[in-house]
Amino acid sequence: MEKIVSLCKRRGFIFQSSEIYGGLNGCWDYGPLGVELKRNVKDYWWRVMVRERDDVVGMDGAILMSRAVWKASGHEETFTDPMVDCRTCKVRLRADQLPEKHGVKQCPNCGGKDLTEPRAFNLMFKTFIGATEDENSVTYLRPETAQSIFVQFKNVLDTARKKLPFGIAQIGKAFRNEINPRNYIFRSREFEQMELEYFCRPEQGMEFLEYWKEERIKFYENIGLSREKLHVLTVPDTDRAFYSKGTYDIEYDFPFGRQELEGVAYRTDYDLKQHQGASGKPLDYFDEETKQRFIPHVVEPSAGVDRTVLALLCNAYDEETVTDEKGKSETRIVMRFHPRIAPVKVGVFPLLKNNEQLVSKAREIVALLRPQMNVFYDETGAIGRRYRRQDEAGTPFGVTVDFETLGEKDQALLDTVTLRHRDSMKQERVKISELASVLLPQVQ
Ligand SMILES: [Zn+2]
């Protein structure tokens, strides 16, 4: 894990928030490569979950919502973790994560056994709207994106003119004031979610729970996560939310253990019913064919963007020993991202930076490919070093413009380039005119 964290900082995937001031615990900033990786994950999710489907529409809700939403949803009352304080070193701890020694719970910080009784600690960030900081102006940063979908259900239904079953999807930031943020970007206080609320008739709930579990596993496979490292946990009755009739956790084998990537939950009609009751506004559905009026049930696949990014980073990291023509061995660090989600798709390199013809040809190729994919141009250093830098960034393809490209050695090779493959390090000659059609199907 340390190697991955170190590479992420060194290559500009992820930095600690407010680092020059000592850092802010549980918050992370994505650097130039990290933001591209994260954006590719979100774009692919949006593509398969919204754009390529007739039965799902998107929305983008505000992070701030009326406090009434969080009262009705139950978050104000029950969105809590049990917490204890260590009286010896004053540290605050999750009561359910305390190590035990000889059956006695103790502080992992100082080893002290003088702990307070567990108390409920609400995970929502409280804030005030407007100029007065009193009870009437209180609200919270949203702890999940789902609630804006529920409270806008009627507006979306009326404007998108969808019939059941149909879904509303959203990607956005959420905030939880975790007592112990940990495992790098896995559990942080500010994070991003990709959520779908899929509304259906009550009798279809269990069927769509199965359907979405399968769809979501396919998604993770399609962005390159190994199937052997993905697992489905059937959440036992005792651990499920009381309103849920079935929940699956899709888990991944992280270096720090098997942990949840996504929850797929059948939430019944709980949320819409709560909001209809609290707001007094009807949130029901009228079925034209059966002339029935009812509150739809909902199945929710809820994925964490940052967790997915972390799984992709862990999955991609590889070290191998390579030997060059002179017999010298070295360690190659390579991020084996699926080309679809790789931050940079292709690196373009003129063999020499002081040769005007090579440089201008390379620039032409950059201009040719840039409208279709993320291209990185690099002319500094030996070509082998430039390849290694892109290996660490996870760039699947490298294009080198050399003297053959200019037709100096063999006229037949005029306007061809060396195409290098990151994983195999194999090289082939490809015509410049065919580059886009060779690369595009692999990176989309
Ligand atoms: Zn302590």
Find the mean pLDDT for residues 159-168: 96
Query: How far does the centroid of ligand 1 lie from the alpha carbon of residue 2, in Å?
Result: 26
Both tokens of 74, joined, read 């139950």
Find the mean pLDDT for residues 183-206: 97
Query: How far does the centroid of ligand 1 lie from the alpha carbon of residue 121, in Å?
Result: 19
pLDDT of residue 129: 95
Going by C-alpha positions, the residue among 124, 122, 98 that lies closest to residue 112 is 98
How distant, in Å, are the alpha carbons of 37, 71, 215, 221, 247 from that of 230? 20, 36, 13, 9, 16
Both tokens of 411, joined, read 């006229």
Query: How far does the centroid of ligand 1 lie from the alpha carbon of residue 119, in Å?
Result: 17
pLDDT band at 342 (very low <50, low <70, confident <90, very high): very high
Going by C-alpha positions, the residue among 174, 205, 172 that lies closest to residue 300 is 205
Model confidence at 102: pLDDT above 90: no
* 344-443: CATH superfamily: Anticodon-binding domain (3.40.50.800)
Query: How far does the centroid of ligand 1 lie from the alpha carbon of residue 108, in Å?
Result: 7
Query: How far does the centroid of ligand 1 lie from the alpha carbon of residue 92, in Å?
Result: 8
pLDDT of residue 346: 98
Instruction: Report the DSSP beta bridge partners of residue 82.
Output: 120
Find the mean pLDDT for residues 386-414: 95
Query: How far does the centroid of ligand 1 lie from the alpha carbon of residue 117, in Å?
Result: 14
Model confidence at 96: pLDDT above 90: no
Where exactly are the structural domains of the chain?
A: 32-74+141-312, 344-443
Query: How far does the centroid of ligand 1 lie from the alpha carbon of residue 181, in Å?
Result: 17
Find the mean pLDDT for residues 172-196: 95
CB-CB neighbours of 368 under 10 Å: 15
The residue written with tokens 């809700």 in the block is 61
How distant, in Å, are the alpha carbons of 240, 314, 420 from that of 331? 46, 18, 19
Task: Please give the Cα distance from 1 to 36 (Å, whole number).
Answer: 21
Query: How far does the centroid of ligand 1 lie from the alpha carbon of residue 87, in Å?
Result: 7
Query: How far does the centroid of ligand 1 lie from the alpha carbon of residue 114, in Å?
Result: 8
Residue 334, phi then psi, degrees to nearest 5: -135, 135
Query: How far does the centroid of ligand 1 lie from the alpha carbon of residue 437, in Å?
Result: 61
Model confidence at 403: pLDDT above 90: yes
Both tokens of 275, joined, read 């909001």
pLDDT of residue 179: 86
pLDDT of residue 159: 96
pLDDT of residue 245: 94
| CB-CB contact of 348 with 366 (8 Å) | yes
pLDDT of residue 100: 87
Residue 350, phi then psi, degrees to nearest 5: -75, 140
Query: How far does the centroid of ligand 1 lie from the alpha carbon of residue 100, in Å?
Result: 13
Query: How far does the centroid of ligand 1 lie from the alpha carbon of residue 25, in Å?
Result: 19
Out of 3.40.430.10, 3.30.930.10, 3.40.50.1360, 3.40.309.10, the CATH code matching 32-74+141-312 is 3.30.930.10
pLDDT band at 182 (very low <50, low <70, confident <90, very high): confident
Query: How far does the centroid of ligand 1 lie from the alpha carbon of residue 90, in Å?
Result: 6
Interior angle at CA 196, CA 192 and CA 200, nearest 5 = 160
Find the mean pLDDT for residues 281-300: 96
pLDDT of residue 412: 92
Model confidence at 300: pLDDT above 90: yes
Query: How far does the centroid of ligand 1 lie from the alpha carbon of residue 104, in Å?
Result: 14
Percent of the chain with pLDDT over 70: 100
Q: Please state whether the peptide bond connecting residue 165 to the residue before it is cis, i.e. omega within 30 degrees of 0.
A: yes
**For 257, left (φ over 0), alpha (ψ -120 to 50), or beta?**
left
In this prediction the pTM is: 0.94
Query: How far does the centroid of ligand 1 lie from the alpha carbon of residue 111, in Å?
Result: 6
Both tokens of 291, joined, read 């002339």
Give the pairing type, strands 166-175 and 56-58.
Answer: parallel
Model confidence at 63: pLDDT above 90: yes
DSSP 322-364: EE-TTS-EEEEEEE---TTT-S-SEEEEES-TT-HHHHHHHHH
Q: What is the mean pLDDT of the chain?
A: 95
Query: How far does the centroid of ligand 1 lie from the alpha carbon of residue 189, in Å?
Result: 23
Residue 94, phi then psi, degrees to nearest 5: -75, 125
Torsional sign, CA 13, 262, 152, 162 = positive
Find the mean pLDDT for residues 260-285: 97
Find the mean pLDDT for residues 391-420: 96
Q: Is 326 exposed, middle or buried (0-12, 13-18, 19+ CB in 10 A)?
A: exposed
